[in-house]
Chain A
Amino acid sequence: MSPRPGFVLEVDKSTPPTLFWHGEGFRLERLPTGSRVLYAPEPLDPLTDPVGAIRHALLHPLGDAEPLSALLRPGMRLTIAFDDVSLPLPPMRRPDARQLVIEQVLDFAAEAGVDDVVLICALALHRRMTEAELRHAVGDRVYDAFEPQGLLQQHDAEDPDNLIHLGLTDHGEDVEINKRAATSDLLVYININLVPMDGGHKSVATGLASYRSLRHHHNARTMQQSRSFMDQHRSELHTSNWRMGRLIADSGVKVFQIETTLNTDTFPPQMRFLERREWEWSAKDRAAYVATSAALARTPDRLARQVLHSVRSPYRLTSVQAGEVEAVHAQTTENVYKQQLVAVEGQTDILTLGLPYICPYNVNSIMNPILVACLGLGYFFNMYKGRPLVREGGVVIMSHPTPWAFHPGHHPSYIDFFEQVLSETTDPTEVGKYEEAYATDPWYVHLYRTGNAYHGVHPFYMWYWCAHALEHLGGVIIVGGDRAAVKRLGFTPASTMADALEMASDIVGRDPSLTHLHSPPLLMSDVS
């Protein structure tokens, strides 16, 4: 039986309560009759022979590219860059897609007699990965072969000796990227394209860039003009990255792009109820829900976090594309849409979201309030094509505990951003006046380079990610969140969904339309 496409349910009196993620827990909410619930398409059938598919892609590249084997020769400098810990979510079961692709690329390199090979994790301004995380991503064999010799590196956007300024785009944007990558004879970039935003020229132009370069598109103005940043052709974020990517290519950097897509088989069997539609829950699903909810509710927050962050997703590869960047990405985007796109008729007054425990920036960490905002208003709000799911002036209601809690090792500058910047203004444009100070703060730079901290400027990016939503919406309400933290974000706290709906009616009027994005599993709405 082929997987079912996404589905838009209209709630009626017989509809069971709808499952909402609520951080490290869940809530069952009974939505008003007439509400719509958007369910993700069921997981596409995976590649039956992923290793063979990868090999095929490398030998049959897309666009104006030669097969990988033809690009490799003895004596050349080969750099293999790959996506960091922010992808996929949750982390996938071993073997990770990156491992599968890297092993193939290394096999080709070995066959061609290439000795000078360096692997670089394309962190951009994200935190450095731990040994365990790297081992998980690239596999033990690759890790043990490269890391001890210093050949498995993590991009350091603050290392002046290993950055190279390639020039300015015709829009005056600095293009400064990793020197090793830029000066290699071939740069192979390996992506996991979990959402349509990922990949394309953004891989190198962002993943291997410095702050000097990133600031040109990671800002409030760009994000307000990216409608949405999940829709490449209407995204100023991507337009800027494409300009940079073309300049990188024109500078002589030869990029061989590899992109992979995953299905939506997001949770392991014991949590499979999260992927099912509530009215189709079996007795086993209901029992699993009750047991999981009760166990998480009785578990201290820290332990519950550990348990959930140890979840490994059974994601499977659905496609592999390799070759020239733009040709590869066009095909990849189609494949992501094939898995995630759900057609939706018309916008809604109120969009409800149940936010889970994880987002790209808190893997093995705490989902702090800034990340809560970013996940809801940055990622989920922007998971649309065409028009936003919620109308202009509408309301987003998010469900998350939003604790006033931060991981001091991972998010040190977030603490200061929350205490200092957001206490003064929550306007994404206005917060920019602090950006330079945070970006150049020597303490944050030190922690980014030597510890496992996100770069000092990163919380600004998270806030910029919300810029389009904040400009578009009439209100944001968080259900069940820490009231002080929610207020600091500039949002409205509500104790219950009923309270939130009552509050929302002050903005959107009585009898509003409501749509719930039942995600994850990830889905992208195509709003007509």
Chain B
Amino acid sequence: MKGLLVERSLPRFAAARLFSSIGGSGTSTSVGPLRLTDLEAPDLPGPGWHRVQPLLAGICGSDLATLDGHSSRYFEGIVSFPFVPGHEVVGVVDEGSAGGLPAGTRVVVEPVLGCIPRGIDPPCAACADGRVGGCERVAFGHIAPGLQIGFCADTGGGWSHAGLVAHGVQLHPVPDALSDDDAVMVEPTACAVHAALAAGVEPGDTVAVLGGGTVGLTTTAALRQLASPGALLVGAKYPHQRQLAGELGADLAVTPAQLARAVRRRSRSLTISGQLSGGADIVVDCVGSADSVAQSLEMVRPRGRVVLVGMPGKMNIDLASLWHREVSLAGAYAYGSERTGRSVRRTFDIAMEVVAAARLGRLVSARYPLERFEEAVAHAGAAGRRGAVKVVFEMHPRSRKGLTS
């Protein structure tokens, strides 16, 4: 069965880095570490595991960073090669599973490989608390290191017709009301939900979101639905992103260059050498670049909070203002369980509600067969410029478009 595989090849990673630095993200597949090959279905690691046949599998920014050779070396110890990428997956439970879900059940995959899938008992403190995204043991247990399905040699990933394996705790049945396009957006939306809740938005806060790609738009939707910001301001580079941001709940969607001015107006701040005297209560950085972090620091208020949702890497930034203005800089990775008031809910359950309410399936802009992976990756790498948001692989002809089946 055909599938895409990433192999550990330093020359190929180096070539990818060089090519993508020149040609842009997604332009280095011909020389990079990704190749289309024949794959066997992965073995079930043990009881409680299911085989999942992907229907749609998204191309995420973290996938692109890997394929472009730009991922941080931090991840080296928590991925295992070779791996099949693809962690944004809607699929169906296949025959031969060892878990409780019947074959044919449509599911979305919660790809984080925490203690339970890894057979680690007792679980680490984070997993015990439901915060599987913070699992301390992603490199341990009875499966190979890998923080998520799609980065682990033992589980397979969404970009393969051979399918993947996932533990029962990682699978969420999809309500019929959600189309496959909606469902494939659940995983990125879960990240956004976690970020929106972790941001700690107080009612009336001014919140600035930097970035208008998948992360920025889903975060905008999540903030609008799950928090009560006084103003939700979005900086997005491309017109279609600003249009969508407005539709998803932004009070104002402007270009990134205009965002600081919009925040200044809202907060009625003064400006000192580009730094706002006041600023937004919370800035959510959905880009993750040195520029975006610097810009976030320029427009967050003293004692405000910058939340990094876009995956950052090694960067050189001036943190003097962070120190001087006592700004909190926090990461928001993945999902697990969310505490809202006295209740605790799975992030994916909340994300499905957000996806349904905001009709986030509309963010799926293009579907590609796996065989055209070079075009798909190039399209994803230039999504903003080409008027797209989410590019996915169509893994099965039965995948459905539209809101309902």
**A416 adjacent to chain B (CB < 8 Å):** yes
**Chain B proximity of A442: nearest CB distance (Å):** 6
**A499 adjacent to chain B (CB < 8 Å):** no
Classify the interface of chain B: helix, strand, loop or mixed. Answer: mixed
**B225 adjacent to chain A (CB < 8 Å):** no
User: Is there contact, CB below 8 Å, between A416 and B268?
Assistant: no
- For B264, list chain A residues within 8 Å (CB): 443
Task: State in angstroms the CA–CA spacing of A420 and B263 once bound together.
Answer: 11
Within 8 A of B (CB), among A115-144: none
Q: How many residues of A contact B (CB 8 A)?
A: 9
- For B261, list chain A residues within 8 Å (CB): 415-416, 419
User: Is there contact, CB below 8 Å, between A441 and B268?
Assistant: yes
User: Is there contact, CB below 8 Å, between A420 and B262?
Assistant: yes
User: Is there contact, CB below 8 Å, between A446 and B270?
Assistant: yes
**B265 adjacent to chain A (CB < 8 Å):** yes
Interface extent on B, as a size class?
10 to 19
User: Is there contact, CB below 8 Å, between A442 and B268?
Assistant: yes
- For B184, list chain A residues within 8 Å (CB): none
Which of B258, B264, B265, B271 has the most chain A CB atoms inside 10 A of its CB?
B265
- For A420, list chain B residues within 8 Å (CB): 252, 262, 265
Within 8 A of B (CB), among A434-453: 437, 441-443, 446
With both beta carbons as reference points, the residue of chain B lying nearest to A418 in the complex is identified as: B258
**B254 adjacent to chain A (CB < 8 Å):** yes
**B269 adjacent to chain A (CB < 8 Å):** yes
- For B265, list chain A residues within 8 Å (CB): 416, 420, 437, 441
With both beta carbons as reference points, the residue of chain B lying nearest to A442 in the complex is identified as: B268
Contact with B along A245-258 (1 / 0, CB 8 A): 00000000000000
Task: State in angstroms the CA–CA spacing of A442 and B269 once bound together.
Answer: 7
**Chain B proximity of A439: nearest CB distance (Å):** 12
User: Is there contact, CB below 8 Å, between A443 and B254?
Assistant: no
Q: Check A443/B270 contact, CB under 8 A, given A415-B261, A419-B262, A420-B265.
A: yes
User: Is there contact, CB below 8 Å, between A442 and B252?
Assistant: no
Task: State in angstroms the CA–CA spacing of A291 and B264 once bound together.
Answer: 46
**Chain B proximity of A20: nearest CB distance (Å):** 32
Across the interface, A442 reaches (CB within 8 A) one of B258, B262, B270, namely B270
Task: State in angstroms the CA–CA spacing of A446 and B272 once bound together.
Answer: 12
Classify the interface of chain A: helix, strand, loop or mixed. Answer: helix
Task: State in angstroms the CA–CA spacing of A420 and B262 once bound together.
Answer: 8
- For A415, list chain B residues within 8 Å (CB): 261
- For A416, list chain B residues within 8 Å (CB): 261, 265
Within 8 A of B (CB), among A388-424: 415-416, 419-420
Task: State in angstroms the CA–CA spacing of A441 and B277 once bound together.
Answer: 13
Contact with A along B198-240 (1 / 0, CB 8 A): 0000000000000000000000000000000000000000000
Task: State in angstroms the CA–CA spacing of A416 and B261 once bound together.
Answer: 7
- For A437, list chain B residues within 8 Å (CB): 265
Task: State in angstroms the CA–CA spacing of A515 and B268 once bound together.
Answer: 46
With both beta carbons as reference points, the residue of chain A lying nearest to B261 in the complex is identified as: A416
Which of A416, A419, A442, A446 has the most chain B CB atoms inside 10 A of its CB?
A419
User: Is there contact, CB below 8 Å, between B254 and A419?
Assistant: yes
User: Is there contact, CB below 8 Å, between A443 and B269?
Assistant: yes
With both beta carbons as reference points, the residue of chain A lying nearest to B276 in the complex is identified as: A443
Task: State in angstroms the CA–CA spacing of A416 and B259 once bound together.
Answer: 11
User: Is there contact, CB below 8 Å, between B271 and A443?
Assistant: yes
- For B270, list chain A residues within 8 Å (CB): 442-443, 446
Within 8 A of A (CB), among B334-388: none
Task: State in angstroms the CA–CA spacing of A213 and B269 once bound together.
Answer: 25
Task: State in angstroms the CA–CA spacing of A165 and B269 once bound together.
Answer: 29
Task: State in angstroms the CA–CA spacing of A446 and B270 once bound together.
Answer: 8
- For B258, list chain A residues within 8 Å (CB): 419
- For B262, list chain A residues within 8 Å (CB): 419-420
**Chain B proximity of A451: nearest CB distance (Å):** 11
Task: State in angstroms the CA–CA spacing of A442 and B264 once bound together.
Answer: 10
- For A419, list chain B residues within 8 Å (CB): 254, 258, 261-262
With both beta carbons as reference points, the residue of chain A lying nearest to B262 in the complex is identified as: A420
**Chain B proximity of A348: nearest CB distance (Å):** 37
Task: State in angstroms the CA–CA spacing of A222 and B271 once bound together.
Answer: 34
With both beta carbons as reference points, the residue of chain B lying nearest to A441 in the complex is identified as: B268
Task: State in angstroms the CA–CA spacing of A443 and B271 once bound together.
Answer: 7
- For A442, list chain B residues within 8 Å (CB): 268, 270
Task: State in angstroms the CA–CA spacing of A446 and B277 once bound together.
Answer: 13
**Chain B proximity of A438: nearest CB distance (Å):** 8
- For A441, list chain B residues within 8 Å (CB): 265, 268
Task: State in angstroms the CA–CA spacing of A420 and B231 once bound together.
Answer: 14
- For B268, list chain A residues within 8 Å (CB): 441-443
With both beta carbons as reference points, the residue of chain B lying nearest to A445 in the complex is identified as: B270
**Chain B proximity of A424: nearest CB distance (Å):** 9
**Chain B proximity of A456: nearest CB distance (Å):** 10
**Chain B proximity of A408: nearest CB distance (Å):** 10
With both beta carbons as reference points, the residue of chain B lying nearest to A456 in the complex is identified as: B265
**Chain A proximity of B243: nearest CB distance (Å):** 12
**Chain B proximity of A133: nearest CB distance (Å):** 25
With both beta carbons as reference points, the residue of chain A lying nearest to B253 in the complex is identified as: A423
- For B252, list chain A residues within 8 Å (CB): 420
With both beta carbons as reference points, the residue of chain B lying nearest to A423 in the complex is identified as: B254
- For B254, list chain A residues within 8 Å (CB): 419
Which of A420, A437, A443, A446 has the most chain B CB atoms inside 10 A of its CB?
A443
Task: State in angstroms the CA–CA spacing of A140 and B258 once bound together.
Answer: 42
Task: State in angstroms the CA–CA spacing of A420 and B252 once bound together.
Answer: 9
With both beta carbons as reference points, the residue of chain A lying nearest to B257 in the complex is identified as: A419
Task: State in angstroms the CA–CA spacing of A419 and B261 once bound together.
Answer: 9
Contact with A along B46-67 (1 / 0, CB 8 A): 0000000000000000000000
- For A446, list chain B residues within 8 Å (CB): 270
**Chain A proximity of B64: nearest CB distance (Å):** 30
Task: State in angstroms the CA–CA spacing of A446 and B269 once bound together.
Answer: 11
**Chain A proximity of B349: nearest CB distance (Å):** 37
Task: State in angstroms the CA–CA spacing of A442 and B270 once bound together.
Answer: 7
With both beta carbons as reference points, the residue of chain B lying nearest to A438 in the complex is identified as: B265
With both beta carbons as reference points, the residue of chain B lying nearest to A443 in the complex is identified as: B270
Within 8 A of A (CB), among B306-339: none
With both beta carbons as reference points, the residue of chain B lying nearest to A434 in the complex is identified as: B265
Task: State in angstroms the CA–CA spacing of A443 and B262 once bound together.
Answer: 13
Task: State in angstroms the CA–CA spacing of A9 and B265 once bound together.
Answer: 50
**Chain B proximity of A13: nearest CB distance (Å):** 46
Task: State in angstroms the CA–CA spacing of A508 and B264 once bound together.
Answer: 44
With both beta carbons as reference points, the residue of chain B lying nearest to A419 in the complex is identified as: B258
- For A443, list chain B residues within 8 Å (CB): 264, 268-271
Task: State in angstroms the CA–CA spacing of A63 and B269 once bound together.
Answer: 50
**Chain A proximity of B260: nearest CB distance (Å):** 11
**Chain A proximity of B256: nearest CB distance (Å):** 12
**Chain A proximity of B341: nearest CB distance (Å):** 35
Contact with A along B266-282 (1 / 0, CB 8 A): 00111100000000000
With both beta carbons as reference points, the residue of chain A lying nearest to B270 in the complex is identified as: A443
Task: State in angstroms the CA–CA spacing of A420 and B233 once bound together.
Answer: 12
Within 8 A of B (CB), among A176-202: none
Known: A419-B262, A443-B264. 11 other contacts (CB 8 A): A415-B261, A419-B254, A419-B258, A419-B261, A420-B252, A420-B262, A442-B270, A443-B268, A443-B270, A443-B271, A446-B270
- The 20 sampled A-B contact pairs (Cβ below 8 Å) are A415-B261, A416-B261, A416-B265, A419-B254, A419-B258, A419-B261, A419-B262, A420-B252, A420-B262, A420-B265, A437-B265, A441-B265, A441-B268, A442-B268, A442-B270, A443-B264, A443-B268, A443-B269, A443-B271, A446-B270
B binding-site residues for A, Cβ under 8 Å: 252, 254, 258, 261-262, 264-265, 268-271
A binding-site residues for B, Cβ under 8 Å: 415-416, 419-420, 437, 441-443, 446
Q: Which 4 A-B pairs have the closest CB atoms?
A: A443-B270, A419-B258, A416-B265, A416-B261
